[in-house]
Amino acid sequence: MARVLVIGANGQIGKHLVSKIKEKGHDPVAMVRKEEQVSQFKEQDIETVLGDLEKDFSHAFENVDTVVFAAGSGPHTGADKTIIIDQEGAIETIDNTISKGIKNFVMLSGLPVDGPKGTGDGMKPYFYAKYRADQYLQDTDLNYTILRPGLLTDKDETGKVQIVEHDEASSDATSGEVPRADVAEVLAHIVDQNDLKSQIYYLIGGDTDIKDAL
């Protein structure tokens, strides 16, 4: 049983994720930014910790076995907030993980196979931020997995996906959709497997059961 810190637990994927981690027999710790976000997790008997990615949140990493970064600035913020949260927040999370002696890290990312330069102007700050954070993680000695999903939707969970490893990925690997609930299940499965081999996966909807896809 692992104690798993989820950064971005109040996000649309994060809310699913902490519940799924608990269902798999682990102890999630939901990091949230505001006191009013705590009660929804306490109702599920899920531990919370207050932390703000724009401030010092190093206290959140005590007695943790695995860290999952699932935070995001959201689609309606400016480029400055995207850099602060999706890039610098992720990098500081990685630094805190290392400084606390934690070895396992799971990154929820998002990036076309061919990198951020070919993306439309509106998404460039987001993809550059994710790219920089992923590169920073890859340059560490952490046991990590980076998950890069396709277009996120709010459709019902299917339990079936297509997962492609980085070395085998093509542009088709990120051209599809995937429900957020399925993304959360894949992340929870990665945490539960605890087999983080410095791997990058691309995720879209598919026909393979999640338990068989990894």
DSSP-assigned letter for residue 65: S
CA angle 98/47/11 to nearest 5° reads 75
Q: Which of 84, 107, 81 is nearest to 94 (CA)?
A: 107
Is the distance from CB of 208 to CB of 170 less than 8 angstroms?
Answer: no
Which of 126, 131, 201, 202 is catalytic? The answer is: 126
Is the distance from CB of 108 to CB of 187 less than 8 angstroms?
Answer: yes
* Known catalytic membership, residue 126: yes
Looking only at the bridges linking them, the beta strands covering 143-149 and 199-205 are: parallel
Structure tokens of 38?
């705590």
Catalogue the active-site residues.
126
